[in-house]
Structure 1
Amino acid sequence: MSRFLFVVPPLVGHINPTIGVGAELAARGHQVAWAGMPEFVGQLAGGGAVVFRCAGQRLGEGGAVRPPDVRGPGALKFLWERFLVPLAEEMAPGVHAAVEAFRPDVLVADQQTVAGGLIAERLGVPWATSATTSAEFTGALDGMPKIDAWLSGLLHELRGRIGDPDATADPRFSPHLVLAFTTEELAGRASRAGERIRYVGPSIAARPVAPGFPWEWLDPARPTVLTTLGTANADAGARFLAECREAGRSRADRLQMMIVDPAGSLGTPSCTSAGPEDKDILVLPSVPQLPLLERVGAVVCHAGHNTVCEALWHGVPLVVAPIRDDQPVVAAQVVDAGAGIRVRFGRVRAPQLGEALDTVLHEPGHRTAAERVGASFRAAGGAAAAATHLEQLAVEVAAEGPREKR
């Protein structure tokens, strides 16, 4: 049997896909471990997961506090300069120690946790890329050559500090294998690293569900709309969530709305005993998203890849309001697939949100498209297919014999 080490950042949407793959590999008799922050990995993978601690800051803390109004190329620049590059440098010693202790046959590095790929090439460990978003290989930077060149230079300098200075591979794309947790039905055809990409669809595994969620609040006579901006956008969401709430209130005879508000921007969380004004709006700091998606009619979100894929897996159409990073690319994919409607995060008001909700809830084309993409996800194989590709890479590595350690 083989040993697989997953290197992940402190971002829930990037850890989640590795959980299902890791569980599948373990069920097949392989040894699995993670390098990252145990407080993040442990809550998703369970207390029995083997996690090698790596240092690193979190997005939204310290020097990685991103102003809410930073968007577009400025947001990308901030993400890499203030978060991803410092994260790589801080994680590098822990990743190195994890490789020395665990001796993986294959290292699996999240696409934005470039310390994984750089340390792997430095130590001569074959590695694969875990791509939780398709934006990096579907030409997101094709129209911005200066930004692309700037990022390449930034990664080159980082390699000189923590990797093998003589290597030339892009640490975002393994030369051996890129696991894309999507399908071409949503992402389209890749313009980069296409020969190495394996489209496996989302890796969706059961996650711990905290008790106390008010399932009885759901009204089977009306569709429920789930509104969420993910785990990394709480700083930017107050106005948008308030507009969503107004859109829900104006359609209380037709729908009920559940709003995820981890920052408390809408005030005290509501419950089933909320006043008459908000009896059809439920505001909570967190929700059990996967089981809830089995029972909702539509999702309003920021076009985060994880949320989009989980919604489409369940055949749920979307209203997407991208904020920054890869979200505009993912939002465009949703619209191009016919599975949702895009609105402008910074400008949309309750009437426009309500109209978009009416459309995705009551015009069947969007749900039909969402179900089509979801079917492609299931056909791609998910965690089982990803595990098989990793097993094949391990077999190829073993056939090649020992590699030189630098």
Structure 2
Amino acid sequence: MSRFLLVVPPLVGHINPLVGVAAELEARGHRVAWAGHPEPIAQLVGPEAESYACATPQELTRPPELRGVAALQFLWQKCFGPLADAMAPGVERAVDAFRPDVVVADQQALAGALVAERRGIPYATSATTTAEFSGALEGMPKVAEWIEGIVGGLRARLGDPAATHDPRFSPHLQIAFSTPELAGCDAPQARWVGPAIAERPAPDFPWEWLDPARSLVLVSLGTANTDTGGRFLAECAAAVRERAGRLQTVLVDPGGVLDTGSDADVLIASRVPQLPLLERASAVVCHAGHNTVAESLWHGVPLVVAPIRDDQPVIAAQVTAAGAGVRVRFGRAGRAQLGAALDAVLTDPAYATAARRVRDAFRAAGGAPAAAAHLEKLAV
């Protein structure tokens, strides 16, 4: 039996892929513990999970108007860097108490990688988005150099100053929860396992509301964009109502920017059972968050993607390059553009065919069992 410590940021999309991996490791007789913010870990893994609390900075949300390089600078200055400093003492306590054989560190939880390298513990990178493998900064050398400076300062404080590799890319093992068929690249150092889909607690849902004679559209902007999505969600609802004879929509609104409720065409809820709904969905409209995209394509569902910020434009480009969806502009798309995009992915069979092609690649990659097998080899 080996011990695996999973170090995660307080972000749902970065915890979800490791839930299935943790369950698989435990089913194989290993012991798993978590280090991070207790609330999302308990919500997604369960209150019985063995976990060690790590502090987080008070400010982890960005001003909604930030885009591009400004948003990236904010992330590193106000989020990733401060998050690593805040989490490090909790990770240290977890290492002392749990004595892991392997640390699994999310790419945005740099404290996990840096503490592991300083303590001489093998660690694996958990890459819940493939944007870091895409070479997005190749045309911005000054930005890349600036990020290297921040990482270097973190390493001097928290890690092994003699190390020279980028801690976001473990020299021992990098697990990417996608495949080259979607990512459009094949980083040879990564182990491409596809999405790690696992059952998770699901809220109640009025299944009797669904009309099997109409196509189901799921609309979600994730949990981190509630400050920006009101207009977009309202336009999505309007586009579907214009197609009421053939479409129904479940619209996820965690921030309550719209009136919660339902009519015959649109159901608005703060939380939904996303995985069971994807089994019935004909299309998904989303912000191109990697978690939502991966889960949609795992079910072979084509997408309308409206990236907002961060890695989302990269993931949206991957979707369109794979032929599995249509991209619209988040800030400008109205009901006419959204309706046309939905019409395209629902009526042109090429989109569904491409989505199924990615689905087949995802499922062949092995998911959580493949990730667990790679981690077992690292622990030997």
Settle same-fold status: TM greater than 0.5. yes
1:139 corresponds to: 135
Query: C-alpha distance in 1, partners of 2:30/2:375?
Result: 11
2:202 corresponds to: 209
Q: How big is the shift at 1:63?
A: 2.9
Query: C-alpha distance in 2, partners of 1:164/1:36?
Result: 21
Contact 2:203 2:271 in 1 (8 A): no
Query: C-alpha distance in 2, partners of 1:31/1:185?
Result: 33
Pick one of 335, 342, 351 that aligns with 1:366: 351
CA RMSD of aligned residues (A): 1.0
What number of residue pairs does the alignment pair up?
380
Q: How big is the shift at 1:166?
A: 2.1
Query: C-alpha distance in 2, partners of 1:260/1:70?
Result: 23
2:324 corresponds to: 339
Could you list the per-position Cα deviations for residues 232-256 of structure 1 after superposition, in whole angstroms to 9, with x for gaps in the alignment?
0111111111111111111111201
Matched, 1:92 2:83: no
Which amino acid letter does the alignment assign opposite residue 220 of structure 1?
Answer: P
User: Any idea what SS the aligned residue of 1:128 has?
Assistant: strand
Contact 1:261 1:285 in 2 (8 A): yes
User: Any idea what SS the aligned residue of 2:103 has?
Assistant: strand
Which amino acid letter does the alignment assign opposite residue 35 of structure 1?
Answer: A
1:302 corresponds to: 287
Query: C-alpha distance in 1, partners of 2:250/2:140?
Result: 38
Unaligned 5+ segments in structure 2 are none
Pick one of 236, 243, 260 that aligns with 2:235: 243
Could you list the per-position Cα deviations for residues 304-338 of structure 1 after superposition, in whole angstroms to 9, with x for gaps in the alignment?
00000000000000000000000000000000000
Query: C-alpha distance in 1, partners of 2:246/2:45?
Result: 38
Contact 2:226 2:253 in 1 (8 A): yes
Which amino acid letter does the alignment assign opposite residue 23 of structure 1?
Answer: A
Query: C-alpha distance in 1, partners of 2:146/2:23?
Result: 38
1:149 corresponds to: 145
User: Any idea what SS the aligned residue of 1:236 has?
Assistant: coil
Which amino acid letter does the alignment assign opposite residue 241 of structure 2?
Answer: R
Query: C-alpha distance in 2, partners of 1:120/1:237?
Result: 38
2:38 corresponds to: 38
1:196 corresponds to: 189
Query: C-alpha distance in 1, partners of 2:208/2:283?
Result: 19
1:221-300 pair list within 5 angstroms: 221-266=213-258, 268-271=259-262, 274=263, 279-300=264-285
Contact 1:294 1:314 in 2 (8 A): yes
2:126 corresponds to: 130
Query: C-alpha distance in 1, partners of 2:25/2:60?
Result: 34
Could you list the per-position Cα deviations for residues 328-372 of structure 1 after superposition, in whole angstroms to 9, with x for gaps in the alignment?
000000000000000011111110100000010111100110011
Identical columns (%): 65
Query: C-alpha distance in 1, partners of 2:140/2:232?
Result: 28
Runs of 4 or more off by more than 6 Å in structure 1? Answer: none
Q: How big is the shift at 1:229?
A: 0.3
Query: C-alpha distance in 1, partners of 2:61/2:9?
Result: 16
What is the TM-score when the length of structure 1 is the normalising length?
0.92
Query: C-alpha distance in 2, partners of 1:66/1:364?
Result: 38
1:399 corresponds to: none
Matched, 1:109 2:101: no
Q: How big is the shift at 1:48?
A: 2.0
Deviates more, 1:45-54 or 1:25-34: 45-54
Query: C-alpha distance in 2, partners of 1:100/1:67?
Result: 37
Pick one of 268, 288, 308 that aligns with 1:323: 308
Pick one of 72, 77, 92 that aligns with 2:73: 77
Query: C-alpha distance in 2, partners of 1:305/1:346?
Result: 20
Contact 1:259 1:281 in 2 (8 A): yes
User: Any idea what SS the aligned residue of 2:211 has?
Assistant: coil
User: Any idea what SS the aligned residue of 1:220 has?
Assistant: coil
Which amino acid letter does the alignment assign opposite residue 225 of structure 2?
Answer: N
Which amino acid letter does the alignment assign opposite residue 4 of structure 1?
Answer: F
1:391 corresponds to: 376
Which amino acid letter does the alignment assign opposite residue 71 of structure 1?
Answer: R
Q: How big is the shift at 1:47?
A: 2.2
1:174-193 pair list within 5 angstroms: 174-190=170-186
What is the TM-score when the length of structure 2 is the normalising length?
0.98
User: Any idea what SS the aligned residue of 1:233 has?
Assistant: coil
Which amino acid letter does the alignment assign opposite residue 46 of structure 1?
Answer: G
Could you list the per-position Cα deviations for residues 45-67 of structure 1 after superposition, in whole angstroms to 9, with x for gaps in the alignment?
1122100111113xxxx433311
Q: How big is the shift at 1:83?
A: 1.1
Query: C-alpha distance in 1, partners of 2:244/2:133?
Result: 41
Query: C-alpha distance in 1, partners of 2:237/2:302?
Result: 19
User: Any idea what SS the aligned residue of 1:234 has?
Assistant: coil
Contact 1:243 1:349 in 2 (8 A): yes
Unaligned 5+ segments in structure 1 are 396-406
Query: C-alpha distance in 2, partners of 1:257/1:72?
Result: 31
Contact 1:176 1:196 in 2 (8 A): no
